């Protein structure tokens, strides 16, 4: 019983498309549900602001939806893409692209829901701040989507690059590892940044005079939270663009797959933890902005310590790629 490469290509495209859309639907579903839940309780608290709350809910949900739409785009591309010169590397890139976009959409989808939900709650509490809340929500949830964009970029590079000149082994592991690194690495930062942006919307509604310093702190905290997603993107790009020497041995191949998994999974914890830290800092600034300098300092120190395990993962991933 023998199968030629076209059959495996179809298998990979269909499995990849299923993973991309299936995993990709988790985040957006939860995030938008959270937004709708917040909007519902906000309208019950302040029915007069129902129109504004409804508008904000829809805009916020649309942004949280982007990650899910990216998953749909990659799934569609996988289903209908034409490959003139298929090889077994293409099989691996299809699975890699599907996993990358599927995992990559989870965090940003959930994260995008938090600022939208808190903005709805905030409008009910402080209708005068509607414009400012909408701006904060848009900025916050757009930044939370950035790691989904990294995953989309990596998935598109995997789908449309020409790997046919490269040796099958270890390139198949490199492209699969790249997809995993970039996709899984976006879960934590996407979720974490959403929590920060949610806390900022809460702070703006709670104490309008603290809006500026809360937004600055939010941007700072989100930037630090983003770092581990950038490590994932970095490892993904190294795995895609570095040329590896031909090998028939299993060990160097598995080292590349291990590097991708290491950086991808290793970025979840720091992303979530740094998000939690910045969420609390922004929340406290919303309660009392006089302490903002002290709070920003402690937030950055705490985030730096939380980052350490992400850096260990990066080191191990780079050792797996370049040293062993």
- Distance of closest approach, residue 94 Cβ to another protein, in angstroms: 22
- Distance of closest approach, residue 189 Cβ to another protein, in angstroms: 11
75 or 285: whose CB is closer to another protein? 285
160 or 312: whose CB is closer to another protein? 312
3-state secondary structure of 248: coil
129 or 184: whose CB is closer to another protein? 184
Count of alpha carbons within 13 angstroms of residue 125, beta-carbon side: 16
3 or 80: whose CB is closer to another protein? 3
40 or 291: whose CB is closer to another protein? 291
User: In terms of Cα–Cα distance, which of 279, 264, 114 is closest to 177?
Assistant: 264
123 or 256: whose CB is closer to another protein? 256
User: In terms of Cα–Cα distance, which of 280, 277, 283, 281 is closest to 305?
Assistant: 277
Measured distance CA(321)–CA(210) in Å, rounded: 46
- Distance of closest approach, residue 286 Cβ to another protein, in angstroms: 9
- Distance of closest approach, residue 52 Cβ to another protein, in angstroms: 30
Phi, psi of 164 (to 5 degrees): -65, -25
- Distance of closest approach, residue 179 Cβ to another protein, in angstroms: 15
* DSSP label at residue 161: S
Measured distance CA(140)–CA(129) in Å, rounded: 16
Distances (CA, A) of 187 to 6, 17, 268, 322: 33, 19, 6, 26
63 or 220: whose CB is closer to another protein? 220
Asked whether 197 and 176 are in contact (CB, 8 A), the reply is no
Question: Which H or E element spans position 169?
Answer: helix 168-185
Show the beta-strand stretches assigned E in 162-288.
Answer: none
- Distance of closest approach, residue 290 Cβ to another protein, in angstroms: 8
- Distance of closest approach, residue 102 Cβ to another protein, in angstroms: 18
* Other C-beta atoms lying within 10 Å of the C-beta of residue 33: 15
* Other C-beta atoms lying within 10 Å of the C-beta of residue 289: 19
Residue numbers of the site for another protein (CB under 8 A)?
Answer: 188, 192, 248-251, 253-255, 257-277, 279-281, 283-285, 287-288, 290-291, 294-295, 298-299, 301-303, 305-310, 312-313, 315-317, 319-320, 323-324
């Amino acid at each position: 019983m023998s199968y030629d490469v076209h059959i495996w290509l179809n298998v990979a495209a269909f499995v990849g498309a299923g993973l991309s859309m299936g995993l990709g639907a988790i985040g957006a579903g939860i995030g938008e549900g959270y937004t709708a839940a917040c909007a519902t309780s906000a309208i019950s608290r302040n029915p007069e602001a129902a129109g504004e709350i409804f508008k904000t809910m829809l805009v916020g949900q649309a942004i949280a939806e982007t990650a899910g739409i990216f998953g749909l785009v990659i799934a569609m591309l996988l289903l209908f893409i034409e490959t003139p010169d298929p090889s077994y590397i293409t099989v691996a890139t299809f699975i890699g692209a599907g996993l990358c976009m599927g995992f990559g959409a989870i965090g940003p989808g959930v994260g995008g829901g938090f600022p939208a939900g808190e903005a709805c709650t905030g409008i009910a509490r402080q209708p005068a701040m509607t414009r400012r809340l909408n701006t904060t929500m848009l900025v916050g949830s757009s930044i939370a989507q950035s790691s989904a964009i990294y995953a989309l970029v990596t998935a598109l590079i995997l789908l449309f690059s020409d790997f046919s000149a490269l040796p099958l082994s270890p390139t198949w592991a490199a492209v699969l590892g790249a997809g995993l690194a970039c996709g899984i690495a976006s879960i934590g930062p996407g979720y974490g940044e959403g929590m920060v942006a949610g806390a900022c919307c809460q702070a703006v509604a709670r104490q309008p005079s603290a809006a500026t310093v809360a937004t600055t702190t939010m941007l700072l905290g989100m930037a630090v939270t983003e770092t581990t997603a950038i490590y994932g993107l970095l490892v993904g790009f190294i795995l895609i663009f570095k040329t590896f020497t031909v090998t028939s041995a299993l060990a160097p191949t598995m080292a590349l797959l291990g590097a991708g998994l290491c950086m991808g999974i290793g970025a979840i914890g720091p992303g979530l933890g740094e998000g939690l830290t910045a969420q609390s800092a922004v929340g406290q600034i919303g309660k009392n902005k006089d302490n903002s300098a002290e709070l920003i300092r402690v937030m950055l120190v705490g985030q730096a310590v939380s980052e350490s395990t992400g850096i260990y993962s990066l080191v191990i991933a780079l050792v797996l790629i370049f040293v062993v």
